Amino acid sequence: MTKEACQRYLEDPEANAAHLQTCAECRAVSAALAEKNDVKPASIDLNALPLAPWEGSSYRPWPLVLGITAVVVAVALALCDAAGLSPLHVAESSLTSMEAIRGLIDRATASLRGASLVWQIAFGVAFLLVNALLIVLLRRSPRGIDA
Protein backbone atom coordinates (compact mmCIF):
# COMPACT_ATOMS: atom_id res chain seq x y z
CA MET A 1 0.00 0.00 0.00
CA THR A 2 1.18 3.54 -0.65
CA LYS A 3 2.47 5.69 2.17
CA GLU A 4 0.07 8.47 1.21
CA ALA A 5 -2.93 6.23 1.85
CA CYS A 6 -1.51 5.21 5.24
CA GLN A 7 -0.90 8.87 6.08
CA ARG A 8 -4.49 9.77 5.11
CA TYR A 9 -5.80 6.94 7.30
CA LEU A 10 -3.69 8.02 10.30
CA GLU A 11 -4.87 11.61 9.94
CA ASP A 12 -8.55 10.69 9.80
CA PRO A 13 -9.23 7.02 10.67
CA GLU A 14 -13.01 7.29 10.58
CA ALA A 15 -13.24 8.80 7.11
CA ASN A 16 -10.71 6.32 5.69
CA ALA A 17 -11.91 3.17 7.46
CA ALA A 18 -11.86 1.18 4.21
CA HIS A 19 -8.08 1.48 4.14
CA LEU A 20 -7.80 -1.11 6.93
CA GLN A 21 -9.09 -3.85 4.63
CA THR A 22 -6.24 -3.33 2.18
CA CYS A 23 -3.28 -2.49 4.48
CA ALA A 24 -1.98 -5.14 6.93
CA GLU A 25 0.44 -2.72 8.60
CA CYS A 26 -2.26 -0.22 9.55
CA ARG A 27 -4.53 -3.06 10.61
CA ALA A 28 -1.86 -4.25 13.06
CA VAL A 29 -1.39 -0.73 14.45
CA SER A 30 -5.13 -0.31 14.84
CA ALA A 31 -5.47 -3.66 16.61
CA ALA A 32 -2.65 -2.81 19.00
CA LEU A 33 -4.27 0.53 19.85
CA ALA A 34 -7.64 -1.14 20.41
CA GLU A 35 -6.02 -3.63 22.79
CA LYS A 36 -4.43 -0.81 24.75
CA ASN A 37 -7.76 1.01 24.98
CA ASP A 38 -9.42 -2.09 26.38
CA VAL A 39 -7.29 -1.86 29.51
CA LYS A 40 -9.52 -0.15 32.04
CA PRO A 41 -8.06 1.73 35.01
CA ALA A 42 -8.64 0.33 38.45
CA SER A 43 -11.85 1.64 39.95
CA ILE A 44 -11.39 4.27 42.68
CA ASP A 45 -13.66 4.47 45.69
CA LEU A 46 -13.96 8.21 46.16
CA ASN A 47 -15.46 7.83 49.61
CA ALA A 48 -12.39 5.92 50.77
CA LEU A 49 -10.11 8.87 49.93
CA PRO A 50 -9.33 11.39 52.68
CA LEU A 51 -11.34 14.59 52.70
CA ALA A 52 -9.56 17.37 50.81
CA PRO A 53 -9.39 20.79 52.52
CA TRP A 54 -11.25 22.52 49.69
CA GLU A 55 -14.25 20.18 49.76
CA GLY A 56 -17.31 22.09 50.90
CA SER A 57 -15.17 25.10 51.77
CA SER A 58 -17.05 27.58 49.61
CA TYR A 59 -20.30 26.90 51.46
CA ARG A 60 -21.51 29.94 53.40
CA PRO A 61 -23.85 29.17 56.29
CA TRP A 62 -25.17 32.71 56.73
CA PRO A 63 -27.66 31.96 59.55
CA LEU A 64 -24.86 30.47 61.71
CA VAL A 65 -22.35 33.23 60.90
CA LEU A 66 -24.74 36.14 61.33
CA GLY A 67 -26.29 34.59 64.45
CA ILE A 68 -22.96 34.03 66.24
CA THR A 69 -21.64 37.45 65.18
CA ALA A 70 -24.81 39.14 66.44
CA VAL A 71 -24.58 37.30 69.77
CA VAL A 72 -20.91 38.26 70.25
CA VAL A 73 -21.59 41.91 69.37
CA ALA A 74 -24.62 41.99 71.68
CA VAL A 75 -22.63 40.49 74.58
CA ALA A 76 -19.82 43.00 74.00
CA LEU A 77 -22.26 45.94 73.91
CA ALA A 78 -24.03 44.71 77.06
CA LEU A 79 -20.73 44.32 78.92
CA CYS A 80 -19.58 47.77 77.78
CA ASP A 81 -22.90 49.24 78.92
CA ALA A 82 -22.66 47.49 82.31
CA ALA A 83 -19.09 48.68 82.79
CA GLY A 84 -20.00 52.22 81.70
CA LEU A 85 -17.67 52.17 78.71
CA SER A 86 -18.24 53.71 75.31
CA PRO A 87 -16.89 52.22 72.05
CA LEU A 88 -14.57 55.26 71.94
CA HIS A 89 -13.04 54.16 75.24
CA VAL A 90 -12.41 50.68 73.83
CA ALA A 91 -10.63 52.18 70.82
CA GLU A 92 -8.62 54.40 73.16
CA SER A 93 -7.55 51.42 75.26
CA SER A 94 -6.30 49.55 72.19
CA LEU A 95 -4.42 52.67 71.10
CA THR A 96 -2.93 52.90 74.60
CA SER A 97 -1.42 49.42 74.19
CA MET A 98 0.08 50.55 70.87
CA GLU A 99 1.51 53.59 72.64
CA ALA A 100 3.04 51.29 75.27
CA ILE A 101 4.83 49.33 72.55
CA ARG A 102 5.99 52.61 70.97
CA GLY A 103 7.31 53.78 74.36
CA LEU A 104 9.19 50.50 74.82
CA ILE A 105 10.88 50.86 71.42
CA ASP A 106 11.71 54.52 72.14
CA ARG A 107 13.32 53.58 75.45
CA ALA A 108 15.30 50.78 73.79
CA THR A 109 16.51 53.20 71.10
CA ALA A 110 17.52 55.80 73.68
CA SER A 111 19.47 53.24 75.69
CA LEU A 112 21.14 51.99 72.50
CA ARG A 113 22.23 55.55 71.65
CA GLY A 114 23.72 55.93 75.10
CA ALA A 115 25.39 52.53 75.06
CA SER A 116 29.08 51.95 74.38
CA LEU A 117 30.38 51.17 70.90
CA VAL A 118 30.80 47.50 71.76
CA TRP A 119 27.12 47.18 72.68
CA GLN A 120 26.08 49.03 69.52
CA ILE A 121 28.17 46.66 67.40
CA ALA A 122 26.71 43.68 69.29
CA PHE A 123 23.22 45.00 68.55
CA GLY A 124 24.14 45.35 64.87
CA VAL A 125 25.44 41.78 64.76
CA ALA A 126 22.27 40.50 66.48
CA PHE A 127 20.14 42.45 64.00
CA LEU A 128 21.99 40.92 61.05
CA LEU A 129 21.87 37.40 62.51
CA VAL A 130 18.13 37.50 63.24
CA ASN A 131 17.30 38.85 59.79
CA ALA A 132 19.60 36.29 58.13
CA LEU A 133 17.79 33.54 60.04
CA LEU A 134 14.46 35.04 58.96
CA ILE A 135 15.56 34.93 55.32
CA VAL A 136 16.74 31.31 55.70
CA LEU A 137 13.37 30.31 57.17
CA LEU A 138 11.46 32.24 54.50
CA ARG A 139 13.27 30.39 51.71
CA ARG A 140 11.61 27.09 52.66
CA SER A 141 8.70 26.42 50.33
CA PRO A 142 5.29 25.76 51.90
CA ARG A 143 4.28 22.10 52.00
CA GLY A 144 0.73 22.18 53.27
CA ILE A 145 -0.90 20.67 50.20
CA ASP A 146 1.87 18.16 49.50
CA ALA A 147 2.09 16.94 53.09
The footprint of other proteins (CB under 8 A) covers 46-47, 51, 53-61, 63-65, 68-69, 72-73, 75-77, 79-80, 82-85, 87, 89-90, 93-94, 105-106, 108-109, 112-113, 123, 126-127, 130-131, 133-145, 147
- For the chain, the three-class secondary structure string (H helix, E strand, C coil) is CCHHHHHHHHHCCCCCHHHHHCCHHHHHHHHHHHHHHHCCCCCCCHHHCCCCCCCCCCCCCHHHHHHHHHHHHHHHHHHHHHHCCCHHHHHHHHHHHHHHHHHHHHHHHHHHHHCCHHHHHHHHHHHHHHHHHHHHHHCCCCCCCCC
The contacts of residue 10 (CB under 8 Å, 6+ apart) are 26
Q: How far apart are CA 147 and CA 144, in angstroms?
A: 5
Q: Which is nearer to other proteins, 10 or 121 (CB)?
A: 121
Q: Least CB distance from residue 40 to other proteins, whole Å?
A: 24
Q: Which is nearer to other proteins, 44 or 147 (CB)?
A: 147
Q: Least CB distance from residue 83 to other proteins, whole Å?
A: 4
Q: Least CB distance from residue 138 to other proteins, whole Å?
A: 5
Q: Which is nearer to other proteins, 34 or 145 (CB)?
A: 145
Q: Least CB distance from residue 70 to other proteins, whole Å?
A: 10
Q: Least CB distance from residue 53 to other proteins, whole Å?
A: 5
Q: Which is nearer to other proteins, 32 or 77 (CB)?
A: 77
